[in-house]
Structure 1
């Protein structure tokens, strides 16, 4: 059984070589492409953790159906890993929300600069 961190770090390393960025539709250079790349990477990390949880839940169900004492004991560790992974997903979505909010506020301040009154 792998640890929660091992499944996430494996996803991180597999994405580094594959990190494509979305096209810059706003006409601004650099920052947008980097921000979209960050969003895409975070969404891939979330999906990787969710896929891992799907496999863990399937294993928990199989262990439960077997009703073998050893498998029931294994379920404790599996359920702890699922719980940890859920916390990671919450954290990743929180980071995405903050990043999106920052991008939105940066764009709105650039598009509507404050006018100075004399």
Structure 2
């Protein structure tokens, strides 16, 4: 005969509900981060296109002042490229963290109550 323990069932439901709410919150933040970073990357790439056009014009002009101006423009271009690399690294970290969070507790039979009203992942012995 199965005996229902409403206290534990309620705790399990509450823990699962909290987990799903947290997962949705994290996924929403990840999407916001992706959108924000992609907009920043696109803006930087647009700026780089303008810098490259100006650098090319200065180079083709062969005017000494324009050529010396290219030094600063190339430094700005390099700085922008570093910013794009950093933004993509942040995207990669955010995506990895979101995948770790979303994979927790999704496999059937891999979670249980941790005694504090939360879920705990059960590790396989395989």
Q: Give me the TM-score of the superposition, normalised by structure 1.
A: 0.71
The 1:116–1:68 alpha-carbon spacing in structure 2 relative to 1, beyond 3 Å, is closer
Query: Cα distance, 1:32 vs. partner?
Result: 1.6
Higher strand share: 2
Q: Choose the corresponding residue for 2:95, options 87, 91, 100.
A: 100
Q: Could you tell me which residue of structure 2 aligns to residue 115 of structure 1?
A: 122
Q: Could you tell me which residue of structure 2 aligns to residue 9 of structure 1?
A: none
Contact 2:26 2:98 in 1 (8 A): no
5+ residue gaps, structure 1, are 1-25
The structure having more radius of gyration, on CA atoms, is 2
Mapped to 2, the partners of 1:46 and 1:107 lie a distance apart of 26
Q: Choose the corresponding residue for 2:69, options 71, 74, 80.
A: 74
- The question of 1:42 aligning with 2:37 is answered yes
Q: Which portions of structure 1, spanning 4 or more consecutive aligned residues, are displaced by more than 3 angstroms?
A: 26-29
Root mean square deviation of aligned Cα: 2.0
Superimposed CA distance per residue, residues 39-96 of structure 1 (whole angstroms, 9 cap, x where no aligned partner)? 1000110111111101000000000011100000000000000000000000000000
Q: Give me the TM-score of the superposition, normalised by structure 2.
A: 0.67
Mapped to 1, the partners of 2:52 and 2:123 lie a distance apart of 58
Superimposed CA distance per residue, residues 8-66 of structure 1 (whole angstroms, 9 cap, x where no aligned partner)? xxxxxxxxxxxxxxxxxx99533222220111000110111111101000000000011
Mapped to 1, the partners of 2:63 and 2:92 lie a distance apart of 43
